[in-house]
Amino acid sequence: MPFISIRDLRVAFDGTQVLHGVNLDVAKGEALGLVGESGCGKSVTWLAALGLLPGTARVTGSVTLDGQELCGASRSTLEGVRGGRVAMIFQDPSSSLNPVIRVGRQIAETLRIHRGLMGDAARLEAIRLMDMVGIPDARKRSDTYPHELSGGQCQRIMIAMALAGEPDLLIADEPTTALDATIQAQILDLLSAVRAETGMAMVFISHDLGAVSQVCDRICVMYAGRIVEEGRIDATFGNPRHPYTRGLFDAIPRLEGGRERLVPIHGTVPDPRNLSNGCAFSPRCDRATDFCRSNLPVLKPQPDGRFLSCFHPVTGISKSSCTSGQHESAAA
Amino acid sequence: MSYVYRSGHMLSFFLSRMLRAAITILLVMTFAFCVLRLSGDPAQILLGPDAPQDAIEAFRERWGLNDPIVVQYWAYLKSLWSLDFGVSMRDKSPALQLVLERIPTTLQLTIPALILKVGIGIPAGVYAALHRQSIADRGVIMMAVFGFTIPSFVVGLLLVLIFSVTLGWLPSGGQDTWMHGILPTLTMSIGGIGILARFSRSAMIEVLGQPYIRTASAKGMSWRDVVWKHALPNASVPIVTIVGFMIGSLIAGAVVVETIFSWPGVGRLLVVSVSNRDLAVVQCLLLVIAGTMVLANLAVDIMYGWLDPRLRSKSAAH
Ligand SMILES: Nc1ncnc2c1ncn2[C@@H]1O[C@H](COP(=O)(O)OP(=O)(O)OP(=O)(O)O)[C@@H](O)[C@H]1O
Ligand SMILES: [Mg+2]
């Protein structure tokens, strides 16, 4: 049984639907990468799952954690889950920490909520966690304020704070985007090390496919509020089937290929307020037909174990993959 | 407390602030000194239009008004240095004493008014921010706009019209009983309640949209704790600015209201002394008023550092 299971999750802001029925499972201990262009709904998916969206958001669907329903659950249920079973860290570590509270105390707050630690016990445990995530001179640093620390150190504090509740799942929402390259690599190493030590599952949200391949077992590609392809890292990286996934891979600068290999996906991300009836990617897709523009593909399991939502997928090396004709007849 | 030790700049911070305060006060004093002397003749005003010329001449001689203004100014500074604030030209009583006598009377109005402003304005604004788009929020916005757009003399007259003239419940002027203080206090608080409600609401809305509030919720903290421990301490920084300004005007802020309700406080004294050109009294009043404003400003700066650690290093560097 998956640890957390998202079914038909839909989110709308002021009548504009931005998430169109997302289905997603995360197993215990697994690392799942979630990629897609800005605005496709990666953050909203997980904020909605934890009930962290503002009141203006309309959320429907189901999110179950070990069989317990979270969508529409009571405040106290959600408060027990947040930080305790599922922790989340965010893109901009400096502004994600409260500027007027000492960092040690911010970690200690989680310890109090989920582990009942108070006073000196909480302080010492906070220092131990800071030490564990690689903050030098943790005892002294625990008394500093976020603005006195660098971005990388703030992200380490965020990670320490997330670990403080001993969660089973960590949602890392672009944890390295705001950091420079060397610090990015250090944070990725830290996350891998923490996972190796605690066996915690992780959802790694990122634009950086390289980082995803480094830390994840499985990858999920989102486009315009839907999952369009999902599969194991090696299979998907070796043979991306969805034209959008393909486009993402082609846009990665490669060392051996030189500059000319870099092919950005043409066109822009669709506006969630006016999506076409057909496949949301069809306006930007070289393989799209009239059929694609008027019919909505659904995410379907493929013989090779991945999930795909496309009428005309890129034909890969694998001969066993479905032909486009089958998809069209299935959807029609 | 700890930042005093850590920054190590507190002394220089204080000294530079005090220096700036002293310069501000000196500029205010100099300006008032000149304007008072150039805009009217105290002898003429005090002795009346029918006074004989030689009486006026004698009065001017006595108060040194015939000396060049630079000489007068120098004499004034010298007496200030020895903490001599001069005497009233009307009854020869010490100016400082006249001013100090009036301060408690004014505070009888302004302190309750401040308590009302803070006690109603801030909670109303915070509540509105926490319940955005609700009926309560709309009500607070409307009241706030009403509060700070209508001038206090209009509010005062309206209140008198309702509670004194129509209903006959409360007296409209004088200072005899605590009942007399109700209408002036209300008049003075309404604008401030509106201002504070509006500022607290927008400060709180701004803070609630910050990423660290989401972080606090994401760690499983109850919404109540998120508001009290994470949102309010951050929102208090801009709110303190306004409250500090209100504290700074505790003494001088009642001029209009004291005039409407004939309340014998500092404001009344100022109006009367200016129209009489009672030079020493006006100068002493301005010194006290400027002094309290500067002190309140300093207090706000210190509060900033206490509330927001990011401002500690900055304010010390000034
Ligand atoms: N609080 C909100 N109010 C209104 N619309 C929102 C809100 N949060 C997100 N959205 C909209 O939802 C859509 C998905 O946003 P989301 O933040 O999930 O994108 P994302 O995939 O995480 O992008 P990024 O890579 O930039 O973080 C966007 O169109 C965004 O404008
Ligand atoms: Mg995002």
DSSP for B121-173?
IHHHHHHHHHTTTSHHHHHHHHHHHHHHHS-HHHHHHHHIIIIIIIS--S-SS
Q: Which chain B residue has its CA at the smallest distance from A146's CA?
A: B310
pLDDT of res. B314: 52
- Which comes out higher in pLDDT, residue B91 or B273? B273
Q: What is the separation of C-alpha A46 from the centre of its chain, rounded to a whole number of angstroms?
A: 7
> B147 lies in which domain range?
95-317
Which residues of chain A, if any, have pLDDT below 70? Answer: 253-264, 316-332
CB neighbour list of residue A2: distance below 8 Å, 6 or more residues apart: A25, A26, A27
pLDDT of res. A326: 41
Mean pLDDT of B15-38: 85
Report the distance separating Cα B1 and Cα B82, nearest Å.
Answer: 35
* Ligand 1 centroid from CA A44, angstroms: 6
Report the distance separating Cα A178 and Cα A93, nearest Å.
Answer: 8
Q: Is residue B4 part of a domain?
A: no
B89, two tokens: 């030209």
pLDDT of res. A321: 39
Report the distance separating Cα B59 and Cα B44, nearest Å.
Answer: 9
* Ligand 1 centroid from CA A281, angstroms: 18
**Beta-bridge mates of residue A201:** A169
**B219 and B211 in contact (C-beta within 8 Å)?**
no
Instruction: Report the nearest-CA residue for atom 26 of ligand 1.
Output: A38
Ligand 1 atom nearest A11 alpha carbon: 12
Contacts of B309 in chain A (CB under 8 A): 99-100, 145, 147
**B151 and B220 in contact (C-beta within 8 Å)?**
no
Q: Which chain B residue has its CA at the smallest distance from A90's CA?
A: B215
B219 → closest Cβ in A99, A110, A145:
A110
> Which element (helix H / strand E) includes B20?
helix B10-38
Question: For an interface test with A, which of B133, B208, B215 has the most A Cβ atoms less than 10 Å from its Cβ?
Answer: B215
A83 → closest Cβ in B211, B219, B307:
B219
* CB within 8 Å: A81 and B217: no
A88 and chain B: CB distance < 8 Å anywhere? yes
* Ligand 1 proximal residues by C-beta, below 6 Å: A 13, 18, 36, 38-44, 54, 272
- CA-based nearest residue to B101, from B288, B255, B291: B288
Kindly list the protein residues that place their beta carbon closer than 5 angstroms to ligand 2, a single-atom ion.
A 43
pLDDT of res. A268: 80
pLDDT of res. A323: 40
pLDDT tens digit string along B93-119? 888 988 999 999 999 999 999 999 999
Contacts of B214 in chain A (CB under 8 A): 47, 52, 90, 96
- Tell which one of A6, A13, A273 to mutate to probe ligand 1, the residue whose CB is within 8 A of the most ligand atoms: A13
**φ and ψ at A308, to 5 degrees?**
-145, 145
What angle, 0 to 180 degrees and rounded to 10, lies between the N-to-C axes of helices B232-248 and B279-307? 170
Report the distance separating Cα B247 and Cα A127, nearest Å.
Answer: 42
Contacts of A161 in chain B (CB under 8 A): 215, 219
**A181 and A170 in contact (C-beta within 8 Å)?**
no
ipTM of the prediction: 0.86
pLDDT tens digit string along A297-330? 888 888 888 998 989 888 865 433 344 334 444 3
Q: Is residue B108 part of a domain?
A: yes
**Beta-bridge mates of residue A218:** A32, A232
Q: Where do runs of H (alpha helix) occur along chain A? A: 42-49, 75-81, 93-96, 103-115, 119-132, 138-141, 151-164, 181-198, 209-215, 233-238, 243-250, 290-294, 324-331
B308 and chain A: CB distance < 8 Å anywhere? yes
Q: What is the CATH number of the domain that holds B228?
A: 1.10.3720.10
DSSP for A313-328?
PPP-S-TTSPPHHHHH
Contacts of B311 in chain A (CB under 8 A): none
Contacts of A79 in chain B (CB under 8 A): 220-222
A328 and chain B: CB distance < 8 Å anywhere? no
Contacts of B310 in chain A (CB under 8 A): 99, 145, 147
pLDDT of res. A329: 40
* CB within 8 Å: B233 and A101: yes
CB neighbour list of residue B174: distance below 8 Å, 6 or more residues apart: B180, B261, B262, B263
Report the distance separating Cα A292 and Cα B129, nearest Å.
Answer: 46
pLDDT confidence of B295, banded at 50, 70, 90?
confident
pTM above 0.80, yes or no: yes
* Ligand 2 centroid from CA A224, angstroms: 13
Around A326, how many Cα atoms within 13 Å sit in the side-chain half-sphere?
10
CB neighbour list of residue B61: distance below 8 Å, 6 or more residues apart: none
**φ and ψ at B157, to 5 degrees?**
-65, -40
Q: Which chain A residue has its CA at the smallest distance from B207's CA?
A: A98
CA distance A147 to chain B (A): 7
pLDDT tens digit string along B173-214? 877 788 888 899 999 999 999 999 999 999 999 999 999 999
A92 → closest Cβ in B211, B219, B233:
B211
- Which comes out higher in pLDDT, residue A104 or B278? A104
**A332 and A295 in contact (C-beta within 8 Å)?**
yes
Instruction: State the DSSP code for A270.
Output: P
> Which element (helix H / strand E) includes B275?
helix B266-276
**A202 and A162 in contact (C-beta within 8 Å)?**
no
Query: Max CA-CA distance within chain B?
Result: 85
CA distance B127 to chain A (A): 16
**A66 and A3 in contact (C-beta within 8 Å)?**
yes
Domain count, chain B: 1
pLDDT tens digit string along B204-219? 999 999 999 999 999 9
Ligand 1 atom nearest A41 alpha carbon: 18
* CB within 8 Å: A79 and B222: yes
A100 and chain B: CB distance < 8 Å anywhere? yes
pLDDT of res. A320: 39
CA distance B35 to chain A (A): 46
Q: Is residue B224 part of a domain?
A: yes
pLDDT of res. A294: 85
DSSP for B167-228?
S--S-SS-SSSTHHHHHHHHHHHHHHHHHHHHHHHHHHHHHHTSHHHHHHHHTT--HHHIII
A113 → closest Cβ in B215, B219, B233:
B219
For residue A13, give the ligand nearest its CA.
Answer: 1
**A154 and A160 in contact (C-beta within 8 Å)?**
no
- Which comes out higher in pLDDT, residue B308 or B233? B233
B215 → closest Cβ in A79, A96, A145:
A96
Lowest mean pLDDT among A311-320, B127-136, B155-164: A311-320
